[in-house]
Each structure stands twice: as structure tokens, then as C-alpha cells.
Chains A and B, each alone.
Chain A
Amino acid sequence: KQEVTQIPAALSVPEGENLVLNCSFTDSAIYNLQWFRQDPGKGLTSLLLIQSSQREQTSGRLNASLDKSSGRSTLYIAASQPGDSATYLCAVSNNNDMRFGAGTRLTVKP
């Protein structure tokens, strides 16, 4: 059974810092990996999707990498802003489901 772990559980940084969120998974036979953002009490917003054949994806200040063989992904956020404060979720798709990590709760202080 796929297990997804995210480190750290919480992170607080001053505005402007670059930061890295980590995700690891136990079963490397994945279709893809997706990063989501969740604001308190809200749904999940897709940020980036990396297919199993890809090594990274970029969108604006966000860059996600995937090392399938080692079961790891990172989400890099450049020049963080207070509006980036949210919980970031990593999710891995193996077959017909998607398994989520517990998330990293990010706070960016002005």
C-alpha cells in the first residue's frame, strides 16, 4: 500500500525567502505526482502535476521535481509571499486512486 510522507509538517519563514517542501513515497510504480494547495476550510487547488516519465515541472515561482527511483519529490517556492501561506499537499497516483501526504502547513510572515 502506498504511503506518502511530507516533511516538515509545518514551516514558518519571512517573506522573500526561497523554500523547499519535501514529499516521499514508498511505492515507486506511480503514474504521476501532483502538488496541491489547500487554504483553511477550502478545497484543493492543483499546483503542478509531474508525470512518472518527467523529472520536473515549473509554474511561475513554483518548481516541482520528481525522483521516482528514490521515491521523492520536492516543491520549491521562490521569493515567498504572505499569500503563499496555506497547506501544501503532495499526492501520488498508482492506479485508480491518489494517495495524499498529511501536508506541510506553510506560514509566510510579512
Chain B
Amino acid sequence: EPEVTQTPSHQVTQMGQEVILRCVPISNHLYFYWYRQILGQKVEFLVSFYNNEISEKSEIFDDQFSVERPDGSNFTLKIRSTKLEDSAMYFCASTEYRGSPLHFGNGTRLTVT
């Protein structure tokens, strides 16, 4: 069965550095998402992306964050100038059309020291 894949599985970075989290959504999916889960807390919506543009973003997704689909397969989340509180599990998800099941990757655990 097709999967959403995320790399790396674990990323350690120093405060103030930039990180790029990578995702390969399922190939025929059109809607892409990033979520995060701080340890012990809820899964939180960050941003949705469709037709090469952001369709919705949460209050968490401020100017520190950006997303890009640089080619036909990758979907990336960039965090500029990371802060300690950015430490979390970041999940990429995709769906074929609005209303179809959301498929998640296994996540990237980001640790900011």
C-alpha cells in the first residue's frame, strides 16, 4: 500500500539554526498537510497546501515557517531560526481529495538544543 514517507526520522539542531523537514506524499494525492505534536500534547494543525499554494494555516504557522513543493514529489517544511519550543514530532499527511482519508507519515522528531 502506498505510504507517506518522511525524512529524517530524527533531527537534532541548535537553537537559531534552520531546518528543513522533508516529505514524499502519496503520488496521486493532491492535498498536503503538516502537523506537529509536542511530547504529551495534542496533534496540532500547522498548514494545508493545494495547487502549489497554502490553503489554510494555523496561528502556530507564523513567519518562522514556510512550505514548498520544489518538484513533483517532495513537500518540505522549513523552520527558520529554530527555538527550543519547536522541539516536537512533525507529521506530514496527504489526501487524494477533500473529504478522503488522511494518510500520515511516521513523523520527524525534531530536537532543538
| Chain A contacts to B: CB under 8 angstroms | 31-32, 34, 36, 42-46, 49, 51, 89, 91, 93, 95-103
Contacts and interface: CB of A to CB of B under 8 A. Distances in A.
Interface stretch (B13-21, B44-52, B72-80): B44-52
Interface of B: 31, 33, 35, 41-45, 48, 50, 55-56, 58, 91, 93, 98-107
Contact of B43 (A45, A46, A93, A100): A100
Contacts, number: 55
From A31, A32, A96, name the one whose CB has the most chain B CB atoms within 10 angstroms.
A96
A19 B64 CA distance: 43
B42 A42 contact: no
Interface of chain B, main secondary structure: strand
Interface of chain A, main secondary structure: strand
B42 A46 contact: no
Nearest to B49: A96
B102 A97 contact: no
Given A32-B99, A96-B31, A97-B56, A43 B104 contact: yes
Contacts of A46: 101-104
Given A43-B107, A44-B43, A101-B42, A96 B56 contact: yes
Given A96-B50, A98-B33, A98-B93, 15 more contacts: A31-B99, A34-B101, A34-B102, A42-B106, A43-B106, A43-B107, A45-B104, A46-B101, A46-B102, A89-B43, A96-B31, A97-B58, A98-B102, A100-B35, A100-B42
